[in-house]
Amino acid sequence: MSRDELSDLLEEQQSLHAELKARGGKLDITRGKPSPRQLDLSRELLSITVPVHAADGQDVRNYGGAKGLPEIRAIFADLLGVDVDHILAADNSSLSIMHDLLSYAMLHRIHGATEPWGRQEIKFIAPVPGYDRHFAICEHLGIEMVPVEMGEHGPDMDEVEALAADPSVKGMWVVPMYANPDGVIYDEETARRLVSMPAAPDFRIWWDNAYALHHLTDAQPRPLPILQMAQQAGHPDRVFEFASTSKITFAGDGVAFLASSTGNLDWYLSHAGIRSIGPDKVNQLRHATYLKDAEGVRALMRRHRELLAPKFAIVEKILGNRLGGTGVARWTHPSGGYFVTLDVLDGTASRVVALAKEAGIALTPAGASHPLHRDPHDRTIRLAPSFPSEGELAAAMDGVATCVLVAAAEKLLG
Amino acid sequence: MSRDELSDLLEEQQSLHAELKARGGKLDITRGKPSPRQLDLSRELLSITVPVHAADGQDVRNYGGAKGLPEIRAIFADLLGVDVDHILAADNSSLSIMHDLLSYAMLHRIHGATEPWGRQEIKFIAPVPGYDRHFAICEHLGIEMVPVEMGEHGPDMDEVEALAADPSVKGMWVVPMYANPDGVIYDEETARRLVSMPAAPDFRIWWDNAYALHHLTDAQPRPLPILQMAQQAGHPDRVFEFASTSKITFAGDGVAFLASSTGNLDWYLSHAGIRSIGPDKVNQLRHATYLKDAEGVRALMRRHRELLAPKFAIVEKILGNRLGGTGVARWTHPSGGYFVTLDVLDGTASRVVALAKEAGIALTPAGASHPLHRDPHDRTIRLAPSFPSEGELAAAMDGVATCVLVAAAEKLLG
């Protein structure tokens, strides 16, 4: 494009942007929240009758049962492909379990550690782009994060292996399926290298399988048997695996899970048992009664897909129509999960988010997908299509495309 | 009693003890758990329909709302006599909030602190006898506890004031109403001195009002307005107040509360918001729908009293009949709460617990009511009458009385 053509484009897009501002709309595609229609799928949970006793005879209304009810653990053991003895059911947030494990490791000695992590300078490997709430835990605890660029099947493993060889590197964040935000699926070879690579004896991977069942297409890979792989590689304690019902039933009102080696689970419980007398077993039994079994969960996830897939198609279509072939943006085409990652012209992501804000469209802040909110290229924007209605989403995506073009033309015109 | 009379008594009680052993019973009065009949009072909670939206319009099935739903906060603000802005509703365990506050203060800087508590040698004041799970948190975190003897209306305040003057003393455990385990009610003068005394700027009181509504008689004192008292004394941030529905509805499946100054609540939320995306609002609304208002809670507590008071009467009657006038035991006569404290002849509490175990009666371990499980006099035993049926409780108390007499006679005979 010549400068004149660019100027024309800028003018045209600026006028579209001005229209948006004038319209004074209010659209929000910041967070991966289920929509009300998705939540309605599990409406039965709001009134289902919960039995007094669990299958093992315990009264779910009383204290105790730190490891959670066998029946809800069995469902997720099946779904994740782990042994039921290696999974525990907790309260309403897997993020809390992730936080607590890190917090316990800071204050106490995780096995393999010579002293609590809080008394050392430690580092975490942070594949980028990644999940802002993972990074926030490390930032909050003052743990340095070393970013590693994501590739097609996971992060650059040569770099990860080189970093893990440093004994001060103690942890790594992983979203192995439909990664937040780029939708990447870790392949078996990446996983094998992760569990096999030499690392500090107290090195752990936070394997957050938040989207393991959240398919958008018929290609529905099974979760990798990461605990067995770690065991076979001679590092049985390397992985903490997480899941929850937050994007299956209700968000923040469900059941979260931790799967790991017996040693790791015992270590977690030795601390969690000081913190609390046990999880909310009534809610665990409510969920087990409602979901019934692994197939019950899979059937529910098919209904989520029916609601979500058309929204991802809208994003794809509008970005394609408005930005395809321009060379100023590329985006992911996820086959599952909750996000589309939009990479815009280097140096313009913050400007796009600011322009969108002026136009009444709330986007996740630029940089959110990077440690300390620092995207060195200022190019990555996370789009969350799940919550708005299809009409709102289409309007928002059209607006975003306009902002991308305005910012790009501004930048290219210098 | 002469040695001969003592020998006769020992022989007689030993034969009763042998009978108990032969009977091979199994009784448990270790923990303050509600009985199944108490839990049945709230059976409606297992099937009640929860509305989709809270009074403020938010969808309770989705993420967010860190401070908890206004309607459930309003009920407990009313019950505790605090402003609704000064109370937040969390998940299923007030113990967890207590733990997390301490854990956050260890890792981060609570306001008034010059550095995180984890980087200092700090101490807590621990009135004894006290609650074993409070002490376990400090023990687990390596925090030294300084025991102070309880009197009729709270701990020895001269001693507490002297200890609090030490800048390394950062916290204190308090169960202000129907204290666990001795049933003491802190009086207004004690409370006034606690909030007024000079102490480190980061000194905090963990004011655990777990039994504020758990009356056993018609004398039903209102919870002290401790937050207002602290504010008036010029120490608005001194107190963290806790409550929960665990011994109101279901134990471990309800809603927990933190009441404090705005500064303290904001500080808590600045950390809790990293740990989780918000509490289980469905369960909060379920509880608000079921309990309705403060009077709904009070009415429910009257029904608990109907079930609990006869059990406390059984303890009183059997201990009176079997041990009254012997001079080898004294016990509390609580007007609320969940426990009776039985003080036996110095140096015999462990022996009584061991004898009871032989007889098939599980008691809370001797020393449990003291920091690090060390009762310097080996005399305090906590009795928890709530869980067993009246028949089981009577059998257990009779057995305990036998064990107390055996241990005392053994001791006195040298």
Q: Following DSSP, what letter does each residue of B75-94 receive, concatenated? A: HHHHHHT--GGGEEE-SS-H
* pLDDT confidence of residue A171: 98
- Shortest alpha-carbon distance between residue B391 and chain A (Å): 21
Instruction: Give domain status of residue A37, yes or no.
Output: no
d(CA A22, CA A341) in angstroms, rounded, equals 28
First to last CA, chain A: 14
In a shared domain, residues B251 and B340: no
Based on the fold, state whether residues B269 and B364 are members of the same structural domain.
no
Residue A66 inside a domain? The answer is yes
For residue B140, give the nearest of A36, A133, A274 by CB distance: A274
Which residue of chain B has the CA closest to A47? B49
Mean pLDDT of A260-278: 98
Q: How many CB atoms lie within 10 A of CB B9?
A: 18
- Closest partner residue to B137 (CB to CB) among A48, A99, A274 is A274
Chain A environment of B62 (Cβ under 8 Å): 33-34, 39, 250-252
Angle value at C-alpha A336, between A210 and A291, nearest 5 degrees: 55
Which chain B residues are Cβ-neighbours of A52 within 8 angstroms? 39, 43, 46
What's the pLDDT tens digit per position in A178-203? Answer: 999 999 999 999 999 999 999 999 99
The last residue of one of the domains, among B267, B292, B317, is: B292
Shared domain check, A311 and A386: yes
**Are residues A283 and B141, on separate chains, in Cβ contact within 8 Å?**
no
Can you tell me the distance from the alpha carbon of B249 to that of B76, in angstroms, rounded to the nearest whole number?
Answer: 14
Distance CA B170, CA B164 (A): 8
- Minimum-distance CB partner of A91 among B43, B91, B282: B91
Quote the tokens at residue A286: 């409510």
Chain B residue with the nearest C-alpha to that of A387: B62
Last residue of a domain, one of A239, A272, A292: A292
Does A1 score more than 90 pLDDT?
no
Measured between CB atoms, which of A33, A95, A136 is closest to B62?
Answer: A33
B59 vs A39, A271, A278: nearest CB: A39
Which of A107, A274, A281, A387 best probes binding to B when mutated, by most B CB atoms within 10 angstroms?
A: A274
**Pick from A372, A297, A392: nearest CA to A135:** A372
Q: How many CB pairs under 8 A join A and B?
A: 155
Which of A135, A282, A284, A338 would best serve as a mutation to test chain B binding (most B beta carbons within 10 A)?
Answer: A282
Q: Which of chain A's residues have a Cβ under 8 Å away from the Cβ of B34? A: 62
B204-208 and B239-244 strand pairing: parallel
Tell whether B279 and B353 lie within a shared domain.
Answer: no
Low-confidence spans in chain B with pLDDT less than 50? none
Q: Which of B252, B267, B292 marks a domain boundary?
A: B292
Residues B265 and B324 in one domain: no
Please give, rounded to a whole number of angstroms, the shortest distance from the CA of B251 to a CA of chain A.
5
Supply the range of the domain harboring residue A177: 50-292
Nearest to B54 by CA among B274, B273, B282: B282
User: Taking CB atoms and an 8 Å cutoff, what residues of chain B touch A276?
Assistant: 92-93, 95-96, 99, 252
Q: Do B47 and A47 touch (CB under 8 A)?
A: yes
**Of B92, B107, B140, which is closest to A118 when you measure between CB atoms?**
B107
Domain contains B209: yes
Nearest 10 degrees: CA dihedral of A392, A395, A397, A402?
-160
pLDDT of res. B1? 84
A280 lies in the same domain as A344: no
Do the chains contact at B99 and A52, CB–CB below 8 Å?
A: no
Q: B381 and B271 in one domain?
A: no
Q: Give the pair of three-digit tokens for residue B314.
A: 């059984």
B48:A47 CB<8 A: yes
Residues B276 and B308 in one domain: no
Amino acid in position B81: G
Distance from CA of A110 to the nearest CA of B (A): 14
From residue B91, give the alpha-carbon distance in Å to each of A59, B56, B86, B255, B273.
Answer: 20, 19, 17, 5, 13
Choose the mutation target among A92, A139, A286, A304 for the interface with B, i.e. most B CBs under 10 Å: A92
**pLDDT for res B194:** 98
* The total number of structural domains that make up chain A: 2
Whichever domain contains A343, its CATH number is: 3.90.1150.10
Is residue B45 one of the residues assigned to a domain?
no
Write the residue in A118, A253, A281 that is nearest to B253 by C-beta. Answer: A281
pTM (2 d.p.)? 0.97
Across the interface, of A50, A95, A107, the residue whose CB is closest to B141 is A107
Q: Determine contact, residues B180/B131, Cβ cutoff 8 Å.
A: yes
How far is B276 from B179, CA to CA, in rounded Å? 31
The shortest C-alpha distance from B283 to chain A (Å) reads 8
Answer yes or no: is B297 within a domain. no
Rounded to whole angstroms, how far apart are CA atoms B122 and B143? 6
Claim to verify: residue A121 and residue A10 sit in the same structural domain: no
Q: How far is B141 from chain A (nearest CA, A)?
A: 7
Task: Indicate if B182 and B263 belong to the same structural domain.
Answer: yes
**Which of A27-31, A146-150, A204-208, B208-212 has the least mean pLDDT?**
A27-31
Q: Closest-CA residue in chain B for A133?
A: B274
Read off the pLDDT band of A161 (50, 70, 90). Answer: very high
d(CA B94, CA B207): 11
Residue A297, in any domain of the structure: no
Please check whether residue A163 lies inside any domain of the structure.
yes
Residue A171, phi-psi category: left (phi > 0), alpha (psi -120 to 50), beta (remainder):
beta
Chain B interface disruption, residue of A33, A255, A277, most B CBs within 10 A: A277
Q: Does residue A45 form part of some domain?
A: no
Task: Judge if A264 and A409 occupy the same domain.
Answer: no
| Rounded Cα–Cα distance for residues B386 and B311 (Å) | 7
What CATH number is given to the structural domain containing A64? 3.40.640.10
Partner-chain contact B62 A281, CB within 8 Å: no
Mark whether B282 and B322 lie in a shared domain.
no
